Amino acid sequence: MEANLPKRKETRKSLRIKVISMGNAEVGKSCIIKRYCEKRFVPKYLATIGIDYGVTKVQIRDREIKVNIFDMAGHPFFYEVRNEFYKDTQGVVLVYDVGQKESFDALDGWLAEMKQELGPHGNMENIVFVVCANKIDCTKHRCVDESEGRLWAESRGFLYFETSAQTGEGINEMFQTFYSAIVDLCDNGGKRPTSSMSVGFTKEQADTIRRIRNSKDSWDMLGVKPGATRDEVNKAYRKLAVLLHPDKCMAPGSEDAFKAVVNARTALLKTIK
């Protein structure tokens, strides 16, 4: 009995995991992996052809982790090659370019592709996702701000990091947190620990912030019909103020949304007699 102990301890310590990268072509998936594994950056775009595979070893707390990384091509042309590789994945690095709105809008499509390939018995709940808002060094072209990206990620229970494969900012921290979450998942019998799922805000709050961001005018923002009365405007305002007040709502972007609602109400009350 005693003689078996060290061996068992050893087995518990080493772990083999599979992670994949996902996201539109040219958002920087390969460069993020290269920055972490090889500590270098390649400015020239070399599109991944189908899939690239690599193995790396990392140390997380007292564990040695052997990571099999499947770096996917983002181009739609390679769908037939990628679709084989979604299965048996513990972690996904989901990347968009902060200067390219389409790559952010495409994130839902990437989740849908994965879900479809995993089939009806596949379970996305027990996979660790980290969203990388990449190319933050290109500040001039940025069009997806932090709170928008963070809200998308955290409302789904995903990790969120701002990264630059060019400067290296955020990359080590992102991978360390990501691998650490995967180790927690494996230690929890392959299920995402419940603590990592509680995000501190509700779906209603997240959806409302998104709706406010996309609203076309002040009426739309308050959710009232153009020509609504003062009472209707004030009633809608009070409801949103309670939902989004920064003291009550921890969702990314809640403060800006709250301010926008206050301004919309002020503007509307000026126009209503």
Q: In this structure, what token pair is assigned to residue 44?
A: 């020239």
Question: Nearest approach, Cβ of 247 to ligand GTP (angstroms)?
Answer: 36
Does residue 220 contact residue 101 with C-beta atoms inside 8 Å? no
Site for ligand GTP in 57-76 (CB under 6 A): 73-75
Residue 95, beta-bridge partner list = 132
How many other CB atoms sit within 10 Å of the CB of residue 14?
11
In the block, tokens 């998936």 appear at 29
Cα 199 to the center of its chain, rounded Å:
13
164 binds ligand GTP, rule: CB under 6 A: yes
Which of 133-141, 185-193, 203-211, 237-245 is the region at the interface with ligand GTP (rule: CB under 6 A)? 133-141
Segment near Mg ion (CB under 5 A), from 2-10, 26-34, 108-116, 143-151?
Answer: 26-34
Question: 175 near 58, Cβ under 8 Å?
Answer: yes
Out of ligand GTP, Mg ion, none, which partner does residue 197 contact, by CB within 5 to 8 A per kind? none
Q: Coil, helix or strand for 123?
A: coil
The number of residues that bind ligand GTP (CB under 6 A) is 25
Indicate whether 119 belongs to the interface with ligand GTP (CB under 6 A): no
Residues 6+ apart with CB under 8 A from 131: 94, 95, 96, 107, 149, 152, 153, 158, 159, 160, 161
Instruction: Return d(Cα 92, Cα 95) in angstroms, integer.
Output: 9
Q: Dihedral sign, CA of 189, 194, 199, 204?
A: positive
- Write out the binding residues for ligand GTP, residues 12-31 only, by CB under 6 A: 23, 25-31
Q: Are 51 and 71 in contact (CB under 8 A)?
A: yes
Of Mg ion, ligand GTP, none, which one sits near residue 170, judging by CB under 5 to 8 A according to partner kind?
none
Contact 212, 258 (CB under 8 A): no
Is 30 one of the binding residues for Mg ion (CB under 5 A)? yes
- The item of Mg ion, ligand GTP, none sharing an interface with residue 166, based on CB under 5 to 8 Å by kind, is ligand GTP
Q: Quote the least distance from Cβ 266 to ligand GTP, whole Å.
A: 40
Instruction: Work out how close the CB of 163 gets to ligand GTP at its nearest, in angstroms, rounded to a whole number.
Output: 7
Binders of Mg ion: how many residues, by CB under 5 A? Answer: 3
Q: Closer CB to Mg ion, residue 30 or residue 208?
A: 30
Q: Which pair of tokens denotes residue 149?
A: 């990206």
Subset of residues 144 to 163 that bind ligand GTP, contact rule: CB under 6 A: none
Binding mask 47-66 for Mg ion (x = CB under 5 A): -x------------------
Residue 166 interacts with ligand GTP (CB under 6 A): yes or no: yes
Q: Which residue has the tokens 């979604």?
A: 86
Find the shortest distance in angstroms from Cβ 47 to ligand GTP.
Answer: 4
Q: Which residues bind ligand GTP (CB under 6 A)?
A: 23, 25-31, 42-48, 73-75, 134-135, 137-138, 164-166
Q: Which residues bind Mg ion (CB under 5 A)?
A: 29-30, 48
